[in-house]
Amino acid sequence: MSILVTRPSPSGEQLVSRLTALGRVAYHAPLIDFSPGSQLEHVPGLIAALRQDDLVFALSQHAVRYAHASMQRSGQGWPDTLRYFAIGRTTALRLHTISGRDVEFPPPPEISEALLQLPALQNVAGRRALLLRGNGGRELLAETLEQRGATVTLCECYQRSPIHYNGAEQSAHWQRQQISTLVITSGEMLQQLYDLVPEHDRLAWLLQCRLIIVSERLAGLAQKLGWQDIRIAESADNDALIRALQ
């Protein structure tokens, strides 16, 4: 039986390649694509305006990639006077690699609730916090930091946009490929896949598939939509997803 990986490029292709090397049959069908965000050009100015010990949050690898490109275009580096945080290990490693700065991150799961439990974020009153993120998404991190007394600025570094498929044709194709396991890394993509597949195929095939997801919150959404065979990976990186697929 086959695995359908829906996470975006290039992580999706990388996961499929690794699964294939392990002898698994896997296919890649990304559900979303990325483009520069409406506030990307403001990143260098927002970084420069921060004071010593103010906070910078990278909420995804994509935010790091786009924000760093904007910083490079301006000829600006990442100041060593700021505190840097990331939603998870992979994002933290990427930010550390491109900036040379220490980046704090929580243990799995890679969710806002875990990030907010870090000791360094318990007393942030009077600090400025810059959140580098995509369009939309949850507001829990920003709202909680504000409740703790920080001044929060949101910066849309990139935009997510759905990749459109013909639902009936794509569903039939996936069934011919004997897809029985789905890898989904966001609620947005889970809902998109659910809506894409026609109702008959949804009941007869999609909801019968094993679902590999990355958080309890996502598991709750999956259960509401009708999935029963659900496994939660310890994080959203490919290493954790491969372990969950074994």
Identical fold at 2-31+163-245 and 35-161? yes
Residue 133's contacts (CB-CB under 8 Å, 6 or more residues apart) are: 57, 59, 60, 63, 154, 155, 156, 157
When pLDDT is cut at 50, 70 and 90, the band that residue 138 belongs to is confident
Helix then strand then coil, % of the chain, to nearest 5: 45, 20, 35
2-31+163-245: what fold? Rossmann fold (3.40.50)
Q: Strand ranges (DSSP E) for the chain? A: 2-5, 26-28, 32-36, 55-58, 83-86, 103-104, 128-134, 151-162, 179-183, 210-213, 230-232
Tokens 């004997």 belong to 178
Stretch 113-137: mean pLDDT = 95
Is pLDDT of 231 > 90? yes
When pLDDT is cut at 50, 70 and 90, the band that residue 243 belongs to is very high
Q: What percent of the chain is modeled with pLDDT above 90?
A: 92
Tokens 């760093």 belong to 68
Is pLDDT of 200 > 90? yes
CA-based angle 110:114:12, to the nearest 5? 5
35-161: what fold? Rossmann fold (3.40.50)
Closest CA to 142 of 131, 133, 134: 131
pLDDT digits (tens, 9 = 90+) for 2-24: 999 999 988 999 999 999 999 99
Computed from CA positions of residues 115, 117, 119, 121, in that sequence, does the dihedral angle turn out positive or negative?
positive
What are the domain boundaries of the chain?
2-31+163-245, 35-161
When pLDDT is cut at 50, 70 and 90, the band that residue 108 belongs to is confident
Report the chain's mean pLDDT, rounded to a whole number. 96
Structure confidence at residue 209 (pLDDT): 98
pLDDT digits (tens, 9 = 90+) for 47-75: 999 999 999 999 999 999 999 999 999 99
